[in-house]
């Protein structure tokens, strides 16, 4: 049995997205900047993809910028707002402690330049309140950047309410929508979003392509200098096959979204119920306000990496947190931010399901995790100390 349950790291491309890309790697290979008819066919495809993606987000075509993915979009959005703020003498930025590193590391860079960064605390449920944002906004605040949904614990933020607060106070609002796009509805107008990052490989599209939505009138800086592509804000020949694949994947992901999410939520609840039977464990993040496919647990007395390797032996692909922190021995900053102690945060497991997973697979995962946790605890001196009372259980 081979079960892929790491869809928050990346997804398998859909057949429709692959098919949508193929013609642009063979027959229609022109450069959209070329004036001849071959170039113009590519330019038409590019315009069509931009129109379709804009429509799906409630945006205008000229507000959609194609980038290399979520990380680039986050960087460009935040740096653009910072440069704009700097010119007006505003050097304060508000964000949360559970953001993706593409956001946090960009903020670190700005901090070194003299920006002041306020990271709001989500509390144990992993959810911010719009009031917290309202209370943190100052006259010198140039940006609020809060992710739509978290990549580790799956919690969904009250983006519409946060957007409304920012709009009322006249502060730019960016949201990293990479985990949300294609999974839950996003509408830039209704959600009062000024800038939004999305990435195709998180919704069954190709890797290395994404979008930065920026409301009309927001002056973007470019991270890459060169030609005048993307209205001069992102130089380099457009990746037409990937862009076509992304447009198709996004459309497909949003078709019958409610039905798909109903099924996915059922699988998620089954998995949460099953894993909750394991003693001394805890679900990370609010149980309801989370992505339909996200399950995240901490198990006491377990080392996360060891659990992953043993699960992989059973054919289960999972993650300890985000793909970005694996390989480092530091526990997840997200789990620490929601108040998990170090020794608990080390025993984390994230399972991110897609609509392709089945109930049989979920049951197999449950029994696999039960076996692996029992085995690891059986050989652990820490566990023995917990069981014979030399050390106190936390969970």
Ligand X SMILES: *Cc1c(COP(=O)(O)O)cnc(C)c1O
Task: Name the strand (E) or helix (H) holding 198.
Answer: strand 195-199
Please, which residue, 94 or 291, has the CB nearer to ligand X?
291
Please, which residue, 200 or 366, has the CB nearer to ligand X?
200
Of 179, 261, 319, 320, the one binding ligand X by CB under 6 A: 179
Site for ligand X in 106-165 (CB under 6 A): 147, 151
User: CB neighbours of 89 closer than 8 A, spacing ≥ 6?
Assistant: 140
- The owner of tokens 């692959």 is 18
User: Least CB distance from residue 99 to ligand X, whole Å?
Assistant: 8
* Residue 114 falls in which region: left (phi positive, over 0), alpha (psi -120 to 50) or beta: left
Q: Is 97 exposed, middle or buried (0-12, 13-18, 19+ CB in 10 A)?
A: middle
Of 199, 294, 332, 373, the one binding ligand X by CB under 6 A: 199
Binding part of the chain for ligand X, among 197-205, 239-247, 306-314, 331-339 by CB under 6 A, reads 197-205
Please, which residue, 151 or 261, has the CB nearer to ligand X?
151
Site for ligand X in 227-266 (CB under 6 A): none
Task: Specify which residues 290 forms β-bridges with.
Answer: 155
Query: What gap in Å lies between CA 335 and CA 267, rounded to an integer?
Result: 23
User: Least CB distance from residue 250 to ligand X, whole Å?
Assistant: 14
Binding part of the chain for ligand X, among 173-181, 217-225, 232-240, 251-259 by CB under 6 A, reads 173-181
Choice among 142, 281, 298, 324 that is catalytic? 324
User: CB neighbours of 108 closer than 8 A, spacing ≥ 6?
Assistant: none
Residue 159 and residue 146 in contact, taking contact as beta carbons nearer than 8 Å: yes
User: Least CB distance from residue 144 to ligand X, whole Å?
Assistant: 16
Under the binding rule (CB under 6 A), the answer on residue 100 touching ligand X is yes
Under the binding rule (CB under 6 A), the answer on residue 293 touching ligand X is no
Sketch the per residue contact string, 70 through 99, with ligand X: x for CB under 6 A, - otherwise: xx--x-------------------------
Under the binding rule (CB under 6 A), the answer on residue 67 touching ligand X is no
Query: What gap in Å lies between CA 267 and CA 361, rounded to an integer?
Result: 9
The string of DSSP codes covering 142-178 is EEEE--SB-TTT-BB--HHHHHHHHHHHT-EEEEE-T
DSSP letter (8 states) at residue 260: H
Q: Cα-Cα-Cα-Cα dihedral of 240, 244, 245, 246, to 10°?
A: 100
User: Least CB distance from residue 53 to ligand X, whole Å?
Assistant: 15
Query: What 3-state DSSP class applies to 307?
Result: helix
Query: What gap in Å lies between CA 260 and CA 280, rounded to an integer?
Result: 32
Binding part of the chain for ligand X, among 76-84, 115-123, 199-207, 254-262 by CB under 6 A, reads 199-207
The count of other CB atoms within 10 Å of the CB of residue 295 is 28
Under the binding rule (CB under 6 A), the answer on residue 176 touching ligand X is yes
- Residue 324 falls in the annotated catalytic set: yes
Binding part of the chain for ligand X, among 19-27, 65-73, 226-234, 290-298 by CB under 6 A, reads 65-73
Binding part of the chain for ligand X, among 58-66, 176-184, 371-379, 381-389 by CB under 6 A, reads 176-184
Number of residues that bind ligand X (CB under 6 A): 15
Please, which residue, 210 or 301, has the CB nearer to ligand X?
210
Residues contributing to the site for ligand X (CB under 6 A) = 69-71, 74, 100, 102, 147, 151, 176, 178-179, 199, 201-202, 210
User: Would you please indicate which residues are annotated as catalytic (active-site) residues?
Assistant: 324
């Amino acid at each position: 049995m081979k079960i892929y349950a790491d869809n928050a790291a990346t997804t398998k491309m859909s057949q429709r997205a692959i098919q949508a890309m193929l013609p642009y790697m063979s027959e229609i290979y022109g450069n959209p900047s070329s004036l001849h008819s071959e170039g113009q066919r590519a330019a038409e495809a590019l315009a069509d993809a931009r129109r379709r993606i804009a429509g799906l987000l409630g945006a205008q075509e000229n507000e959609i910028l194609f980038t290399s993915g979520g990380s680039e979009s986050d960087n460009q959005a935040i740096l653009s707002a910072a440069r704009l703020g700097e010119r007006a003498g505003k050097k304060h930025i508000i964000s949360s402690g559970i953001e993706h590193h593409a956001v946090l590391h960009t903020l670190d860079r700005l901090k070194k330049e003299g920006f002041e960064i306020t990271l709001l605390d989500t509390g144990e449920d992993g959810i911010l309140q719009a009031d917290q944002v309202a209370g943190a906004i100052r006259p010198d605040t140039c940006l609020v950047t809060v992710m739509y949904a978290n990549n580790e614990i799956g919690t969904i933020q009250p983006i519409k309410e946060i957007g409304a607060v920012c709009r009322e106070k006249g502060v730019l609002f960016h949201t990293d929508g990479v985990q949300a796009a294609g999974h839950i509805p996003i509408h830039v107008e209704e959600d009062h979003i000024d800038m939004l990052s999305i990435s195709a490989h998180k919704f069954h599209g190709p890797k290395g392509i994404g979008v930065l939505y920026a409301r009309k009138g927001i002056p973007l800086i470019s991270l890459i200098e060169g030609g005048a592509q993307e209205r001069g804000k992102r130089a380099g020949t457009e990746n037409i096959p990937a862009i076509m694949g992304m447009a198709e994947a996004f459309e497909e992901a949003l078709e019958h979204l409610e039905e798909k999410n109903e099924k996915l939520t059922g699988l998620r609840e089954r998995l949460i119920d099953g894993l909750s039977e394991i003693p001394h464990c805890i679900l990370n993040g609010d149980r309801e306000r989370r992505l339909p496919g996200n399950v995240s647990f901490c198990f006491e007395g377990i080392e996360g990496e060891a659990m992953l390797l043993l699960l992989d032996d059973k054919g289960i692909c999972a993650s300890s947190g985000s793909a970005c922190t694996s390989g480092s021995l530091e526990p997840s900053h997200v789990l620490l931010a929601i108040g998990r102690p170090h020794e608990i945060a080390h025993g984390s497991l994230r399972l991110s399901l897609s609509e392709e997973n089945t109930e049989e697979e979920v049951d197999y995962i449950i029994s696999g995790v039960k076996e692996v946790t029992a085995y690891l605890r059986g050989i652990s001196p820490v566990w023995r100390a917990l069981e014979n009372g030399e050390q106190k259980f936390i969970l």
